[in-house]
């Protein structure tokens, strides 16, 4: 297996020569366009479809992207990853998040531990803990059941689990599986904790402190914040706190917590929703069965990602088209626009996933790369975005590739017919319309009303946003980011870029500053 | 007054010649950096400060930006706007949102109506309505008071008011001025309405339907959705609904609403928080006095924006530095990163404000422009973002200019000292640290730990996020966008780019489709 820079590959030059050959406005028009929609689909897990007809590729480009996939050994690298090679070279670690949700290859043994067995054990521990809380075996001081679970964590301990919780909260309400309400405290802004605490029934609240090292500034601060509030309310923090942490952290095996469920160094924060980080809070909220369905959906998508034929591998295909857009069409951004209000925080999770993984300027050997890497990602649910920033997407001077997500049915089985269509039909009609408006544009005499078109998008379509579909979506984007990292030859699994700010913040708090750092500290009235 | 394209100005060539002259890493280092922080500040309203020391400008560039401001006649154009000229040329309308919060110039008379008097009258109507609801003069069927106000609106009728409500909800709780809880229904996704309705006490909920034309698809659909739910619950919709609309809409003077407060065509949706669109919901939530404080803060900032000296005009200065970064340094994005959890949805509002206003490819006369216009804007609160996408901002291949916002005090007067500092101190220490980390970077032997620096940011610092400070922030960004629109010579006050999607969605719902539009409609299972 070879780890070559992208611009050293033969396929790089081939793609350079093909750049810009597809005029979306032409290929998406008329019956030709309809044929394209039928042809340019890849099946995803959970009966979902990745439709890429409106992205600026054709068969020649797809064939060349297949050559790139082969030359960059994407399938081999994925196999190396799930078979336990040290893919996170910077930190000299395996990358094992897929192992939480199924066995794709060999047993992975690290330091004598079978990691799959370890992850399953922790999932069982999370499930058993949740069941004890639900059954009333673990109760509050007043003998009542816990009604609210509050995750205290930041970054990957917050964004992924929060996005997944919000994605399924309404689904669970309708399906009778909302066992507990979940809330999240993340920001070191004291008003974040105060706001959540003032809004819940503290006597019946269970807090999950999530920190791998047990030393995350924001999380430990918020834990102390919450403990003070519990004590002030005459409650015993030990009866209200559980921990998700590594086995070597100060939170592990500590009698201050009702339970400690373990994570390890082989799953990065942004990939940790499938680990204990997601398992505890989501099992508490929805029950372990629902959590298992999320993992099953993700596992099915992981399995699809093994396909060497990119047309049968939606995650790899999405990755490759994205690379083509980034490096040969010069698009620096990606908008993720789910037509589902439940996915309101999913783009915020993807922002971390994508930008923290591939926002790098050096390759996996620490050498500067001479091409663009990870894009900037943002998004909001449609139709809301249509009444907001879509103006720029349609008529601005910068082109932003779009990833739509849509579902045939809504989650809550409640809808009304108004003017001959349901709200769900209106929602879906809008996303169909947007794809075509972006692709084909519209001529007009009034130049204000002219739409250039040629703005590409793909759409993932599912039946309904169920736990399984959500898991498949989660894995799709994780795998997409992984494959792009392989192509760009970067290490997608470290995040050295977050360290410098931490070091400087500590210096401010220790009053060990000079120059402009002192001046800013004074401006902000820190001391 | 002349409306010339940006690249026709003398200052354009001058700036081109100066591009890239400032090495932030050098100028922000040592005592020189401290002096820069002291010098490069502009006072804002409400005792706030706009600090631009860490943006890539120097005195020569600032002098040239002053030349640009003068040559582009920014002050004159602003004066023309507030004195009632038809600045929204596409739609042939005045632009009057500033008039809602104070009189900057002449009386503006449109069709015989004194618009300032009209806006004041509507504010009084909103206040009187809110007071009647608060006092119990207007009550629910059971004689009880309304406890929740629900805004039904989308785009500007949702994003701005929602961002402002969330920004002050905790402040109001602590200050005893949270009169009613506010909720928002925006998306045509039926689960949005169902979710809100299932979460509130319907018998004591007051709905505000906000649509200028009275014909917005999403809003009318959600209104019907809510009415059906009210009827199903044995409640009379007429006793639960008020309207914010134009005087000529079907919602005006209609006995189906408890009250109708009016807006007009001279205030665009994204600028409408200062109009009845914000007045009704925010007066209900916080009381009319608090709403008036927001407007006062905005008015004070509007007054500052009249300064011809850009160093004394934070809104214009921010605009001009942004233009320099966009057109001469080639930065296509802006990240807005408030170190305040209360501003969680403020970036979403700014996304509409900025991208819908200046995401244009034609000038105000409809001629294509040959330079970049409005940037792509995104953001999340810090410190959360630090554990998410900051990796790319520090070490990615694409540079993103940053706008930080910070406050000396938190809103909720509740904080704890942990390891010798409060959470608020930790929060502020982090933003100070980030500014310096981005600007100066850090050398390192390990290339993974190398930070190139040279990544610019500004910060707005306030004492506390009060209603007045929030109003000043709101106006700052509105005025920034306005001045940038003047420089780019675009019409920042129309949004023709949202029309095509609407037209195509209607065709889908009418089953009047062909080609790929039919194929997508089938893929999405619309019919």
Q: What's the CA gap between B333 and B178, in Å, rounded?
A: 36
| Phi-psi group of A368: left, alpha or beta (phi > 0 → left; psi -120 to 50 → alpha; rest → beta) | beta
The residue written with tokens 């004394």 in the block is B312
The residue written with tokens 């130049």 in the block is A447
By percentage, how much of chain B surpasses pLDDT 70?
A: 100
Q: What does the pLDDT read at residue A156?
A: 97
**pLDDT tens digit string along B403-425?**
999 999 999 989 999 999 999 99
**pLDDT tens digit string along B466-517?**
999 999 999 999 999 999 999 999 999 999 999 999 999 999 999 999 999 9
Average confidence score pLDDT of chain B: 97
Question: Which is nearest to A163 in space by CA: A478, A501, A413?
Answer: A478
Confidence grade of residue A391 (pLDDT, cut at 50, 70, 90)? very high
pLDDT greater than 90 at residue B314 = yes
The dihedral built from the CA positions of residue B211, B195, B474 and B377, taken in this order, carries a sign that is: negative
**pLDDT tens digit string along A37-66?**
999 999 999 999 999 999 999 999 999 999
Q: What's the CA gap between B263 and B162, in Å, rounded?
A: 18
Chain A environment of B383 (Cβ under 8 Å) = 154, 187-189, 218
B139 touches chain A (CB under 8 A): no
Instruction: Kindly determine whether residue A408 and residue B434, on different chains, have CB atoms separated by under 8 Å.
Output: no
Pairing type for strands A113-114 and A109-110 reads antiparallel
B115 is catalytic: no
pLDDT greater than 90 at residue A326 = yes
Question: Which is nearest to B476 in space by CA: B265, B301, B312?
Answer: B301
A234 touches chain B (CB under 8 A): no
Instruction: Kindly determine whether residue B383 and residue A435, on different chains, have CB atoms separated by under 8 Å.
Output: no
A400 touches chain B (CB under 8 A): yes
Q: What does the pLDDT read at residue A143?
A: 97
pLDDT greater than 90 at residue A509 = yes
pLDDT greater than 90 at residue A190 = yes
Mean pLDDT of B441-458: 96
* Token couple for A57: 């590729």
The residue written with tokens 């949004």 in the block is B495
Residues 93-132 of B with CB under 8 A from A: none
Q: What's the CA gap between A101 and A120, in Å, rounded?
A: 9
> Looking at the partner chain, which of B189, B390, B499 has a beta carbon nearest the beta carbon of A449?
B499
B511 touches chain A (CB under 8 A): no
Q: What does the pLDDT read at residue A25?
A: 97
Output the CA torsion B420→B421→B426→B432 (10° steps): -90
What residue in B sits closest to A388 (Cα-Cα)? B352
**pLDDT tens digit string along B129-175?**
999 999 999 999 999 999 999 999 999 999 999 999 999 999 999 99
Mean pLDDT of A441-453: 95
Contact B141, B206 (CB under 8 A): no
Instruction: Kindly determine whether residue B505 and residue A426, on different chains, have CB atoms separated by under 8 Å.
Output: yes
pLDDT greater than 90 at residue A527 = no
Q: Any residues with CB less than 8 A from the CB of B183 and at least 6 apart, and which?
A: B148, B149, B150, B151, B196, B199, B200
Residue B377, classed as helix, strand or coil, is strand
Q: What does the pLDDT read at residue B527?
A: 85
> Looking at the partner chain, which of B270, B384, B415 has a beta carbon nearest the beta carbon of A190?
B415
Question: Which is nearest to B90 in space by CA: A399, A439, A450, A390?
Answer: A450
Catalytic residue among B31, B387, B419, B445: B387
Pairing type for strands B113-114 and B109-110 reads antiparallel
Mean pLDDT of A206-228: 95
Q: What does the pLDDT read at residue A507?
A: 97
Q: What's the CA gap between B503 and B51, in Å, rounded?
A: 44
CB atoms inside a 10 Å sphere around CB A113: 11
pLDDT greater than 90 at residue B179 = yes
Mean pLDDT of A449-456: 97
Mean pLDDT of B118-137: 98
User: pTM here?
Assistant: 0.98
Average confidence score pLDDT of chain A: 97
Q: What's the CA gap between A360 and A5, in Å, rounded?
A: 13
**pLDDT tens digit string along A94-112?**
999 999 999 999 999 999 9
Contact B439, B394 (CB under 8 A): no
Confidence grade of residue A468 (pLDDT, cut at 50, 70, 90)? very high
Dihedral pair phi/psi, residue B311, rounded to 5°: -70, -15
Instruction: Kindly determine whether residue B429 and residue A459, on different chains, have CB atoms separated by under 8 Å.
Output: no
pLDDT greater than 90 at residue B103 = yes
Residues 292-351 of B with CB under 8 A from A: 332-333, 339-342, 348, 351
Chain A environment of B523 (Cβ under 8 Å) = 37, 41, 49, 51, 432, 459, 461
Give the E-state strand segments of B280-416 in sequence order: 333-338, 376-378, 402-407
- Which domains does chain A show, CATH number per domain? 6-93+308-496 (3.40.50.10490), 97-294 (3.40.50.10490), 497-527 (no CATH)
- Among B432, B443, B458, the strongest candidate for a mutation testing the A interface, having the largest count of A CBs within 10 A, is B432
**pLDDT tens digit string along B65-97?**
999 999 999 999 999 999 999 999 989 999 999
> Looking at the partner chain, which of B221, B448, B507 has a beta carbon nearest the beta carbon of A418?
B221
Mean pLDDT of B317-322: 98
**pLDDT tens digit string along A400-428?**
999 999 999 999 989 999 999 999 999 99
Mean pLDDT of A154-159: 98
Tell me, what's the ipTM?
A: 0.97
């Amino acid at each position: 297996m070879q780890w070559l820079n992208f611009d050293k590959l033969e396929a790089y030059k081939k793609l350079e020569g093909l750049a810009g050959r597809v005029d979306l406005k032409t290929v998406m028009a008329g019956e030709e366009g309809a044929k394209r929609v039928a042809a340019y689909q890849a099946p995803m897990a959970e009966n979902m479809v990745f439709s890429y007809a409106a992205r600026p590729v054709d068969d020649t480009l797809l064939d060349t992207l297949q050559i790139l996939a082969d030359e960059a050994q994407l399938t081999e690298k994925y196999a190396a990853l799930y078979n336990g090679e040290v893919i996170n070279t910077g930190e000299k670690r395996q990358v094992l998040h897929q192992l939480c949700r199924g066995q794709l290859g060999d047993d992975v043994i690290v330091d004598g531990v079978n990691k799959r067995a370890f992850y399953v054990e922790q999932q069982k521990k999370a499930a058993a803990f949740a069941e004890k809380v639900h059954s009333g075996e673990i109760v509050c001081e007043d003998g009542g059941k816990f009604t609210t679970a509050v995750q205290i964590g930041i970054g990957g301990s917050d964004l992924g689990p929060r996005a997944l919780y919000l994605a399924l909260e309404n689904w669970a309400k309708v399906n009778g599986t909302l066992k507990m309400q979940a809330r999240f405290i993340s920001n070191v802004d004291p008003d974040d904790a105060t706001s959540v605490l003032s809004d819940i029934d503290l006597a019946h609240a269970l807090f999950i402190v999530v920190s791998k090292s047990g030393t995350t500034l924001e999380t430990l601060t918020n834990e102390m914040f919450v403990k003070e509030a519990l004590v002030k309310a005459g409650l015993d923090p030990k009866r209200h706190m559980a921990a998700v942490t590594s086995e070597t952290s100060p939170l592990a095996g500590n009698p201050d917590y009702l339970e400690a469920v373990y994570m390890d160094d082989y799953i990065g924060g942004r990939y940790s929703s499938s680990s204990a980080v997601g398992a505890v809070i989501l099992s508490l909220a929805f029950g372990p069965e629902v959590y298992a369905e999320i993992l099953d959906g993700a596992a099915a998508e992981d399995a699809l990602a093994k396909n060497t034929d990119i047309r049968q591998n939606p995650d790899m295909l999405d990755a490759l088209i994205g690379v083509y857009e980034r490096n040969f069409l010069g698009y620096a951004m990606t908008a993720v626009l789910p037509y589902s209000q439940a996915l309101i925080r999913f783009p915020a999770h993807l922002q971390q996933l994508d930008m923290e993984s591939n926002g790098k300027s050096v390759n996996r050997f620490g050498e500067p790369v001479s091409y663009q890497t990870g894009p900037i990602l943002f998004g909001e649910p449609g139709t809301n975005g249509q009444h907001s920033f879509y103006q720029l997407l349609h008529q601005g001077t910068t082109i932003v590739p779009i990833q739509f997500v849509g579902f045939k049915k809504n989650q809550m089985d409640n809808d009304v017919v108004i003017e001959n269509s349901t709200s769900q039909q209106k929602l879906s009609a809008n996303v169909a319309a947007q794809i075509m408006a972006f692709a084909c544009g519209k001529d007009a005499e009034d130049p204000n009303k002219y739409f250039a078109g040629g703005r590409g998008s793909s759409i993932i379509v599912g039946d309904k946003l169920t736990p399984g579909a959500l898991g498949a979506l989660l894995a799709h984007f994780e795998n997409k980011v992984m494959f792009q990292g392989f192509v760009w030859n970067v290490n997608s699994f470290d995040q050295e870029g977050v360290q410098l700010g931490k070091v400087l913040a500590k210096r401010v708090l220790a009053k060990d500053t000079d120059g402009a750092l002192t001046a800013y500290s004074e401006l902000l009235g820190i001391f």
